[in-house]
Structure 1
C-alpha cells in the first residue's frame, strides 16, 4: 500500500510541475513527459487484498524513479545499471540501482528539481576541488565530478525554450 501511495503522490506532483512549466532534459526527457501524461489520475479504490494492490500497482506505476539529482525513466533494455550487473554475472534488477547509475544511461532525465540539487552539489564539489588542505586525489575527484555536474546543468539550461518546455 505504501508503494502505491508513493506512486500516486509522485504522479500527481510530476503532473502538477509539468503543467506549471517544469523543464525536463536528458535522453529520456520525452519518455518522462509521455509517461507522466499517460498516467491517469488515481480515482481511488477500495483495496481488500494483496493481489488487488499488485494489480493496481501494475496499472498505475509509470516506472519513473526520482533519485538524487536525476530521474530514471526505467526501461530494462537500456538501463546501464542493469547492464553493469549482468556484465558482472549478477542478476539484472527490475528497477534502477542508483549505486550503479552511469551518467551515460539512456534512461536518464533531468527535471528542474534535479538541476537545483546538482547546483547545490556543484558548490560543494568546487569547494572540495579548491581545498588546498585536501589530498590531491580527493581534489581531482571533486573537480571531475564538478565538471560532470556543470555539463549536465549547462545542457539543461541550453535546451530550455522560452516556454521552459525544451527537450534535450
Structure 2
C-alpha cells in the first residue's frame, strides 16, 4: 500500500482525517464544506493551505489508497463469480482485468501520487445502487449539465445520474441495495394514507428496481428509461 507518514501534530492528524472522509464518503466534499461553514467547496479544498502545504497531498494520497483497495476488492469479487450486468458490463470486466498492478512503494510527493493514479485508476465509481464505468463521451449526467448550461467536471455526478446512461453497471452488491429499495418503494406505494402522486411515483420506482433486478439475474442489460437514479 502507498503510504506517507505525516508529521505527528494535531493539525496533520485533522488534515488527514478530513481528507479521508472527503474521498471515501458520498458527497464528502460537500459535507465537509457544510461542517466547516464554507460557502464554496473550493474553500474546503484550500483548507489549511497556508499552514499545511501537504493538504492537497493528503487528498491525493487518500484517493490513491481508495482506488487501490477498490481495485483489489473488485477484482477478487469478479474472480470469485460476482455477476455484472448493465450496458457497461464488458467494459467493467475489461478495465479490471487489464488494470496495472501495484506492487507497493513509498510515496513522497503529490506528483508521484498523480503518476500512480494514472497507471492504476480504472475510473470505476461505486454508488450504493449502481456503479459508473466513467466515459465522458457517453455520460448522461455530463450531457444533462451541458444542455442546462452548467459547468461540467471530468467525472460522474451522482445527483445527475440517469438510469438510461450507457456507463452504468450493476454488481451483486448493487442488486442487494436495489432489492431493499424495491421493498421500500412497494411499502410506500401500498400505503393508502399517502397522497396518490407519491404512491404513483413509488410504484414506478419499485418497478424500475424490479426490472433492474430481473435483468441482472437474466444476464442482460436493464431496459433503459429517462428517470434519474437516486
Runs of 4+ in 1 over 4 A off after TM superposition: none
In the alignment, is residue 144 of structure 1 matched against residue 204 of structure 2? yes
| Aligned residues of 1:68 and 1:117 also touching (Cα < 8 A) | yes
Match of 2:135 in 1: 75
**2:69 aligned residue:** 9
Structure 1 residue 41: Cα displacement: 2.7
Q: Report if the CA contact (8 A) 2:130-2:171 is conserved.
A: yes
What TM-score do you get using the length of structure 2 for normalisation?
0.68
Distance 1:130 1:93 in 2: 40
Give the match for residue 86 of structure 2: 26
**How does the TM-score come out when normalised to structure 1?**
0.93
Gaps of at least 5 residues in structure 2 are 1-60, 222-230
The answer for unaligned runs of 5 or more in structure 1 is 160-166
Offset of residue 92 of structure 1: 1.9
* Count of aligned residue pairs for this structure pair: 161
Aligned residue for 1:89? Answer: 149
Q: Which residue of 1 aligns with 2:42?
A: none
How far does the alpha carbon of each residue in 1:37-78 deviate from its partner, in whole angstroms, 9 at most, with x for none?
111332111111111111111111100000121000000000
Cα RMSD over matched residues? 0.9
**Per-residue displacement from partner, 1:113-145 (whole Å, max 9, x unpaired)?**
111110011111100110111111111111110
After the TM superposition, which residues 1-168 of structure 1 pair with which residues of structure 2 at under 5 Å, given as runs? Answer: 1-159=61-219, 168=221
Q: d(CA) in 2 for partners of 1:130 and 1:148?
A: 16
Larger Rg: 2
- Give the match's secondary structure for 1:105: coil
Q: Deviations over 1:83-121 (max 9, x none)?
A: 000001112221101110000000000111111110011
Contact 1:12 1:41 (8 Å CA) reproduced: no
Determine helix, strand or coil for the equivalent of 2:165: coil
In the alignment, the residues of structure 1 paired with residue 164 and residue 153 of structure 2 have an alpha-carbon distance, to the nearest angstrom, of 18
